[in-house]
Structure 1
Amino acid sequence: MKRIVILALILALLLAILAGCSNSGPTTGTGTAPPPVSPEAPSVNRENDLPGKVLKVHFLDVGQADSILVQFPDGRNMLVDAGKNDDGPRVVSYLKRQGIEKIDYLVGTHPHEDHIGGMDKVIRTFEIGRVYMPRATTTTRSFKDVLLAVKNKGLKINTARAGVTILDQGNLRAYFVAPCSSDYEDLNDWSAVTRIEYGATAFLLTGDAGARSEAEMLASGANLRADVLKVGHHGSHRSTTTAFLKAVAPEYAVISVGKDNDYGHPHRETLVRLAEAGVKVYRTDRDGTIVFTSDGKNITVEKKGRR
C-alpha cells in the first residue's frame, strides 16, 4: 500500500512538471511514468570559435559518488550529478568558490542517490537553465526531492538520450551518446553519457553506464574518442570493457570513488585494463578533486587534494 501511495505521488509530480509538454515516450522498466520531455534548444553558432579561452572540467571529491563541474570557455556552466544527499552543501560550496551563479545545464545521469542526492540543494540554490535526465524513475526519496525542486523552480526536465545536443558553438560541442535504448533492467545502464568536444580535445563522462550501454554506444557508431574518460560506475568491473576502452583511447582516466568503500571499487580488473592500455589514472579517493583544463589543443591537470 505504501509503495502504491509513493508511486501515485511521483506520478502526480511528473504530471505537474509536464504541464504543457508532450510525454508520449515509452515507460521505464520501473512501471512508473518517465520524466517529461521538453523541446531541445541547443546553442548553435557555427561562425565563432573561442580563441584564448579554456574549458575546465572539475571532478569533485564527493566520496563514493559522482559530481562533475564543467566550465565552458564561453562562460556557461554545466553540472553533471551532485553527489549524495549529504554532499549537497559541499557541492554548493565548491560551486560558489568557483564564482558560479548560474548552472546553465544540469544533468542527472540516472536516479541513484549517489548521483542525484545533492541535486535538489543545487536547484534551490542557483539559477538553473536546462535540466536533463534520462527517462528512468525510482520511488526513492532522493528522486522525489529532485522532482519537487524542479517543480518548485518552474523548470522542465529534458530527456537525456543518445543524439540529443546540449550545445553546439563553433569548436565547442556537448551532446549525449547514451542511453541508446528505452528499456534497461539495470538502472545504471540508463546513465546519460556526455561527450564534450573543445577544439582537438574531448571528454567522455559515463555516469554508471555498464557493459550493455557500452556495447550499444559502440554499435551506434558514435564518436567515443576522448582524451579524458570518466570511468564508469566508480571503476566497477562491470564497466570499462576492453572494446569500449579501445574505442575511447583516453590519455587520462578519472575514477570517482570513496576511500575504503564497501564495494571494493575500483575493481582490480578495471585497473588492469586501464594499465594495459597505458592510461594515466587519477582517483578522487587518493588525489581529491581533480581539474582538467583544455585550451582546445592541450590538456593540463591539477590535483586539489582531499576534501
Structure 2
Amino acid sequence: MRAITQRLSLSVLVPVLILVGSAIYAVVERARPPAAVTATRVSVLDVGQGDAILINGPGDAEILIDGGPTPDLARALSRLLGDDRTIDLVVLTHPHADHLVGFIGALDRYTVDRLLMAGVVHTTGEYERFLEAVRDRKIPTTIAVAGQTYDVGPAHLEVLYPFENLSGKRVDNLNSSSIVVMATVSGMTNDEIRMTPFDKLRDYRRILPERAKRVEGSTFAIRASSFRLLLTGDAESDVEQALLNRYCADRADDAPCERLRADVLKVPHHGSQDSSSASFLAAVAPQHAIISVGERNDYGHPHRRALKRLERTGARIWRTDLHGGITVTFGEEGLSVSSER
C-alpha cells in the first residue's frame, strides 16, 4: 500500500514540480538584467591646484595616482569607492605638497597593497609625515624605474620614467623626478566576449594578463578593446625631451610615436609654460587632454602658450578649473569622457 501511495504521490508531485519549475524559470528569465557592463573609470578629481587620479576597475581593482593638496582626499574616495577600503596600488609621482597632502589622511582610512614612488630626498613636514605613515603601516614600497610593469585588474601600467633609481638622491628640480606611467586599460561587456586562439590575438599578455585561460588543452584569450592613458605628474620639457630621446629616436618630429601614443593625456605640470612641447604632443597625439588645475591659481596655469600647443593637436581639452571632476570611461561604448559641469 505504501508503494502505491508513493507512486500516486509522485505521479501528482512531478507535474506540479514541472509547473512550478517552469513558472520560476519564466520569472527568472523575465527578470534577468541585460548583459552586465564591465567598465573601468579614470576619475581626475577636482582637487584644486594639484593632482589626484583614481583608476577604478571591475572586481574592486583600484589604482590611485597622487593625492592632491588638501586633506579632503579620503572623503572624495569614499564617494567613488563606497565600502571598499583597499587600494591595490598607490603612485606618488613626486613629493610636492600638491600631489601629496591628501595621502596622509587617506592612509588612515584605506589599506594600501603597494606604494610606487620616486624616492628622492625632500625634507618638508608633509613628506616626512607621509613617509612615517607608510612605515607605520608597513606598506610594501617600490622605487620606480623605467621598464617596471604592474597589472591591476584590467589595467596594465608601465613605468616610462625615471630611467634610474633615484632613491636617496637629491635633485635640483623635483618636477624632473616625476614618475611617468603609461596605463593600458581594457574595456568589454559580457556579451562581447569572444574566444580566440592566443597566437592570433596580438599583445594578449600585455592587455589581458589575468584573463588568459586554458580550456580542454587549447589555449584561449578573451578579445577586448584597449585604450591608453599617459600619466605625467609634473614632468616638464626636460623630461619630455628625455622621453622622446629614449622612445622615439627614429620618428619624424611631427609624427606620433608608438611608445608614447595615448588616447588620453594627463597634461604635464598643470599646463605650465615649460611643459607640453609641440614635439612631445605630436608624439602622444591624444584624443583628449586633461588639465588638473585650480581656479585662479597663483601660477598662471594653464599657460596660454601651452593651451595653444594643445589646441593645435586637435585634442578635446578638459580642465578641472572649468569642468570640475573629469571621468574617462572605458567600456562597451569604447572611450567616453564626462565632467561634473
- Report whether the alignment pairs 1:174 with 2:157: yes
The reply to whether residue 224 of structure 1 matches residue 224 of structure 2 is no
Paired residue secondary structure (2:88):
strand
* Pairing 1:135-154 to 2, within 5 Å after superposition: 135-154=119-138
- Tell me which residue corresponds to 2:57: 72
Matched, 1:212 2:238: yes
| 1:229-240 matched pairs, under 5 angstroms | 229-240=265-276
For 1:50-199, list aligned pairs within 5 A.
52-84=37-69, 87-88=70-71, 90-98=72-80, 99=82, 100-167=84-151, 172-181=155-164, 182=166, 184-198=171-185, 199=225
Q: CA deviation at 1:296?
A: 7.4
Among candidates 311, 323, 331, match of residue 287 of structure 1: 323
C-alpha displacement of 1:158? 0.7
Unaligned runs of 5+ in 2: 1-35, 186-224, 249-258
Once superposed, which parts of structure 1, at least 4 consecutive aligned residues long, lie more than 4 Å away? 181-184
1:241 aligns with 2:243: no
Q: 1:296 to 1:217 in 2, by over 3 A?
A: farther
Task: For residues 236-286 of structure 1, give each alpha carbon's deviation from its aligned partner in whole angstroms, at most 9, with x where no partner exists.
Answer: 011111111111110001111111111100001110001111111000001
Alignment partners' CA distance in 2, 1:56 and 1:220:
30
Listed one character per residue, the Cα deviations across residues 170-200 of structure 1 (whole Å, up to 9, x for unaligned) are x741121111245743110111111111233
Give the alignment of 1:32-51 within 5 angstroms. Answer: none
Greater shift in the superposed pair: 53-62 or 289-298: 289-298
Q: Pick closer, same or farther for the CA change 1:95–1:208 going to 2, 3 Å.
A: same
Deviations 1:30-87 (A, max 9, x none): xxxxxxxxxxxxxxxxxxxxx9521110000011111001112343101111111xx2
- Taking only the aligned residue pairs, the percentage that are identical comes to 37
User: Does the CA contact (< 8 Å) of 1:235 and 1:266 recur in 2?
Assistant: yes
Is the Cα–Cα contact under 8 Å of residues 189 and 212 in structure 1 kept in the other structure?
yes
Which secondary structure does the structure 2 equivalent of 1:163 belong to? coil
One-letter amino acid of the structure 2 residue matched with residue 62 of structure 1: V
> Which of these residues, 291, 294, 298, is aligned with residue 255 of structure 1?
291
User: Number of aligned pairs?
Assistant: 251
Partner SS state of residue 200, structure 1: strand
Q: Give the greater-gyration-radius structure (CA).
A: 2
Q: CA deviation at 1:117?
A: 1.2
SS at 2:113's partner residue? Answer: strand
Is the 2:184–2:226 Cα contact (8 Å) retained in structure 1? Answer: yes
Q: Which residue of 2 aligns with 1:302?
A: 338
Please give the secondary structure, in 1, of the residue aligned with 2:150. Answer: strand
- The letter for the 1-side match of 2:162 is P
Change (3 A) 1:145 1:262: same
What TM-score does the superposition give when structure 2 sets the normalisation length? Answer: 0.70
**In structure 2, which of residues 228, 234, 250 is the aligned counterpart of residue 202 of structure 1?**
228
